[in-house]
Each structure stands twice: as structure tokens, then as C-alpha cells.
Structure 1
Amino acid sequence: MHSNEVASTGWDRVGVAVAGLGSMGLGMAASLLRAGADVTGYDPDPNKREDFAALGGKVAVSSVEASRGATLVVSVVVDAGQTEALLFGDEGIATVMAEDGVFISCATMAPDRARRMAARLEATGRHYLDAPVSGGARRAADGSLTILASGTEQAFARAAPALDAMSATLHRLGEAPGEAAAFKMVNQLLAGVHIAAASEAIAFAAREGLDLHRVYEVITASAGNSWMFENRVPHILDGDYRPLSAVDIFVKDLGIVLDMGRASSFPAPLASAALQLFIMTSAAGMGRDDDSSVARLYARIAGLDLSL
């Protein structure tokens, strides 16, 4: 059953904490609330805590307070470093969440980092579910994310109501944490290259003097289309670079791809070229803007106006 059909009784004696209430975490927490979960949210930004409170959620003033006794902790922080600090830092939650509880790790990270954190957490008797997500803020808000997950059968069983509430598609990718992280990095390689290609293509069309709205109409119905072209080009045409997914996210993620490739002597020239475009865009002051800002970099270089 999907989130809107989960009976509230399915959450009896299941406390849920959500750590990280940004554009993704807020939507995921809201989806859990709609499904009937008892959710406590935490974010270091008080404005984000207020946003969650406005939706009817409970908020805590620390991750420890939010997670104390929680059966499920959904971590929607930025990266492996923040995930490790959340679990094992000076105010780490590893030993305050419920015994036999499940930590659902949604950050994109290198597989070896996920494996090391899982082993450390599981030594305390808790479970680590490697569960990076895909789909963006809009799908987080309506509970239709794609979740790539790996972990033990017990972790999946205990986390099932939350996974169902937050996703339209759940891929179970094995019993070992790190497997899902590896799948996510394949996705991020493609996503980053596709954003860079879409940005280059729409700027190229502008250089040719084409009607960019017509270009969008034609390409989205042609073989050259991609999900990223279809999703990101409207941001470019509207001149709206509010960060649904920031440039610096792909600086991080494609950097991980290149690190993984280097460690295994695997060449990744397309990912490398895309990474350089994201780095240049970030260096130009757009790191916290929407990742479609790569097109703005092209526009600045070529003296183009893309929001026509």
C-alpha cells in the first residue's frame, strides 16, 4: 500500500525522527506525517524547524532530543561527513535511539563510507539501512521518491512503513550496506552528465538564434531528450535558479565518482568533464544555486540571454 493508505495503527509504538529538514527532508517528514507517523524533526536552522512545525510536526532543539528512543531515524543530511557526525559526533545519536532501532541513511556517499558507518552502528545493536533517494524536492513532498536501499532483512522489515510513506518505488538492492550507495553513484554520474549536456545544448540553441521554448518542445519529443533536459530546462527558460538541487551537490557527487574510478583504475572522462563544469559554475559564485546554473555559465561565457 502507498503512504496515503497506511493506517495510523501501523505506527503504534513507532517513534520516527527526521534529521535534516531542508528541501528534501521537509518533504519526506511531511509524507511521514500524512501516513500517520509520530514524527519529531530536527534541523540546525530554526527557520526550517518552524516550517515543519507549521505542517503539524513536532520539533526538537537537538538531534539527540529528536532521536532519543526513536525506533526509526531518517537522516537527510548532505553527505557522509554530516552523517558520521550525526551518528558518532560529540552529540551523536547512535546510542540514544531505540535499541534494535533502524537508522535510514539517505545521504549520497561513497560505498566504503556507508559500509564503515554501518559496521560501527550495528556493533551497538542498531541497524543501518543504506537508503539514498532520487526524485527531487517535489517528489519528496508528495511521497513519490525512488529509494535505493540495501540492508538486512530485519532493517527492511522495521523500516517498511517509513519507506512506503516516502516512496513510490523502492529498489531492494541486497543485504550489505554500501550496495545502494554504489547504485546511487551510477545514477549521479548519469544525472550530472545529463545536466551538463542539457545546459550545453540549450546554450548552443541560443547561439544559433533558435526559439528556446520551441527547442524545448521539439527535444522533449525527440530522441535527444533526457529526464534532466525535460526537468531542468524550464528553470533555465524561466530564469529561476532557486536551488531545488544545488550546483555544489554535483561538485560533491561527481567528485565521489572520480575518486571511486581512480581507486579502481576506471576511466570516467565524461564524468570528469561534467565535474569541471560544475566546479567552474561554483567558482563563478553559483554553487548554492540550482544545478541548472551550468547553463548560466555557458551564457556568461558566450554572451547569451537564455530567459527569452
Structure 2
Amino acid sequence: MDVGFIGLGRMGRAMVGRLVAAGHNVRVWNRSPGAAEGLDGATPVTSAAEAFRGDAAITMLADDAALRAVIVEGGLLDAPERPDLHLSMSTISVALARDLAAIHERAGVPYIAAPVFGRPDAAERGALNIVAAGPEAEIARAAPLLDAMGAKTWRFGSEPARANAVKLAGNFMLISAIEAMGEACAFTEAHGVAGADLLDLLTNTLFAAPAYKNYGAMIAAQRFEPAGFALKLGAKDVRLALQAAEAAGVPMPFASAVRDGLIEAIAQGDGDKDWSALARVSARRSGRLKS
């Protein structure tokens, strides 16, 4: 397929690599031009409009503001040449997802929301879990692209915003696990038991799930750099979840507590570290971490 890809952060670059390896013709664009360097097999273009055309255009941008600036304010949906399908893989708000679906419908451009679960190393292996929602026929048409980038595509109906709600719910559950491990480690360390020893036990028995095992290992080793997913982006996602929850009349008291911890971590200079560095907040509060 002839594909345009917009957004070349660590995730985007890895996803482009999978598309190229699967034999797709991929044009790439990023707001910072140097991001396209070293992407063998992909064709850099000089404008977002050159990427937003062909059989499909994929966007993997950092947040609502970036996606709105490039797609909506950039006038791409009014351009003479537009893609046969827009596949939005960014983690964005439910509100923006609904706006984008309506805007695309008016423009006559099919739209699918397909955010992903997985870190850059999973993207490099094509092992992402992709959460897709939109017209069934369009998801089927996008299958060669989704299959190249992910291990499985999980479908959540015809309304694109549902995929974004699922993504925000999943990220809330992940950061809740990190918060729980951070608090538990601070507790046992106050009683003479190393947090690493606690996590070794629990992540190999009661909590032997990928989220606990992977993030537990990072917390135990205090390995928060380089960031696979920056803490400040995690804070953004929890904020988006709370906004969507308030709009729907759904209380999320623990999400509010986690948000405050993330704000505290950012204030302490951990915003660019991996979001597992949230565990440092509990250590600081207990007096066992001074910096």
C-alpha cells in the first residue's frame, strides 16, 4: 500500500520500520525535519500534505494539540489530494476523537482510531496490541498495515472514540500498578525489607503479569532512563481520562490521587524519565529518597 506516516518519535520510527519491512511504500513527515534521518526504505517529504495522501495516512503524534495543529488547523482535510483512509494511532482525548470523526465525515475521508499498547521495543518487533474502532470495512481495509505493526488488532465497534477510551483506561490501569508498587516498596523498606526483594517475590507469584513484571523490574533496578514512555506523557493521559470521566459523570478518585503524584514527580524533575519513576514519589514522601 502507498502510505503516508506523520509523527516520527520513538514509536513512530519503529512503526515505520515495520511497514517498510512488510513491503509498503511509506512517505514520512515530522515537524522536526531531522527525525526522518536513518529511516531506511522510507521516503521523507517536505510537508504534511505530501504525507497525507495515498491509500492511507497514519498519524502518531504526541497529543491533542499536535494532532489538531497538523490535521485540522493545517487544513489537510481541505487539500486537493487526501488519503483514502486516515488511521489515527495517537493517544488523544475522547472529546477530540469525537470531533475528528465528525470532521472527517464532513470531509468525506474515512477515519479510524487505532491507539496502541506497547513500548518502542515492542513496536520494533511488531508486537503492539492495537485498539481499533471505526467502520468495519475500513478496519478490514487497513488490516495489512495493522498486521505489519501489531501482534493483534482488538476491535471495539464503529465509533472511533471508543478506542481512545479503551486506551486511556488501559494507561490508567498501568500507572495504578506503578503507584501500588511504589507505595508497597516504601512500606516494606521502612520495615527493613528491600523493595527489590518484595517485587522479586510478588511479580513472580501473585502479580506475575507483564505490567507488574516489566515495571517492577525497572523500579527494583531504579532504571528510569532512557524513557520508554515519558512520565509527563503519562500525566497527560491521566488528565485526559479524568476529563472524559467527568464529562460522563464517572468518579475516578484513585485517578485523581495518581494525577497529583505525577504532578509532584514532574515538579521534582522526573517528567522526562520513564513513567515508572512515579515510584520515586512514594520513596520521597517516606523520607528514603532525598533527590
Q: TM-score, normalised by structure 1?
A: 0.86
1:28 aligns with 2:21: no
- The equivalent position to 1:285 in structure 2, one of 255, 260, 269, is 269
Partner residue of 1:37 out of 19, 24, 29: 24
Counterpart of 2:38?
Answer: 51
Superposition deviation, residue 101 in structure 1: 1.1
| SS in structure 2 at match of 1:285 | coil
For 1:244-263, list aligned pairs within 5 A.
244-263=228-247
User: Is 1:220–1:226's contact at 8 Å kept on the other side of the alignment?
Assistant: yes
8 Å CA contact 2:156, 2:163 repeated in 1: yes
Residue in 1 that maps onto 2:3: 16
Contact 1:149 1:172 in 2 (8 A): yes
- 1:265 and 1:136 mapped to 2: Cα distance? 31
Q: Is the Cα–Cα contact under 8 Å of residues 230 and 274 in structure 2 kept in the other structure?
A: yes
Q: Report sequence identity in percent.
A: 30
Mark the CA change 1:49 to 1:100 in structure 2 (over 3 Å): closer, same or farther. closer
Equivalent residue for 2:120? 137
Q: Summarize the alignment of residues 80-229 of structure 1 with structure 2, pairs less than 5 Å apart.
A: 80-89=64-73, 91-96=74-79, 99=82, 101-229=84-212
Which stretch of structure 1 is more off in the superposition, 262-271 or 23-32? 262-271
Query: RMSD across aligned C-alpha pairs, in angstroms?
Result: 2.1
CA offset at residue 100 of structure 1? 5.8
Q: Deviations over 1:147-174 (max 9, x none)?
A: 1111112321321110111111111111
How many Å apart are 1:273 and its aligned residue?
Answer: 1.0
CA distance in 2, matches of 1:100, 1:47: 24
**Deviation of the 1:110 alpha carbon:** 2.5
Cα distance in 2 for residues equivalent to 1:195 and 1:51:
34
Q: Name the aligned partner's letter for residue 247 of structure 1.
A: L
For 1:203, the aligned partner's letter is A
Q: Which amino acid aligns with 1:59?
A: P
Are the equivalent residues in 2 in contact too, given 1:99–1:125 (CA < 8 A)?
no
Q: Which amino acid aligns with 1:63?
A: A
Structure 2 counterpart of 1:84, one-letter code: R
Cα displacement (A) at 1:46: 3.5
Gaps of at least 5 residues in structure 2 are none
Offset, 1:80: 2.2
Quote the offset at 1:264 in angstroms: 2.7
Deviations 1:240-269 (A, max 9, x none): 322111111221111122122222332211
The alignment of Structure 1 onto Structure 2 pairs a total of residues equal to 289
CA distance in 2, matches of 1:25, 1:260: 26
Give the distance between the partners of 2:258 and 2:210, measured in 1 at CA. 17
CA pair 225-295 structure 1, distance change in 2 beyond 3 A: same
Distance of 1:97 and 1:250 partners within structure 2 = 37
Find the residue that maps to 1:78 and give its secondary structure.
Answer: coil
Q: Return the letter of the residue paired with 1:62.
A: S
Partner of 1:3: none
Gaps of 5+ in 1: 1-13
CA contact (8 A) 1:199 1:233 kept: no
1:301 aligns with 2:288: no
Shift of 1:291: 0.3
CA distances 1:163-197 after superposition (whole Å, capped 9, x unpaired)? 11111111111112211112222212212211211
Name the CA shift for 1:92/1:243 in 2 (closer, same or farther; >3 Å): farther
What does 1:60-79 align with in structure 2 at a 5 Å threshold? 60-67=45-52, 69-79=53-63
For residue 39 of structure 1, give the secondary structure of its aligned residue in structure 2. strand
Counterpart contact for 1:71–1:97, Cα < 8 Å: no
Shift of 1:17: 1.3
Question: How far apart are 1:276 and its partner, in Å?
Answer: 1.0
Query: Given the two structures, how large is their TM-score scaled by the length of structure 2?
Result: 0.91
TM-aligned CA deviation for residue 301 of structure 1: 3.5
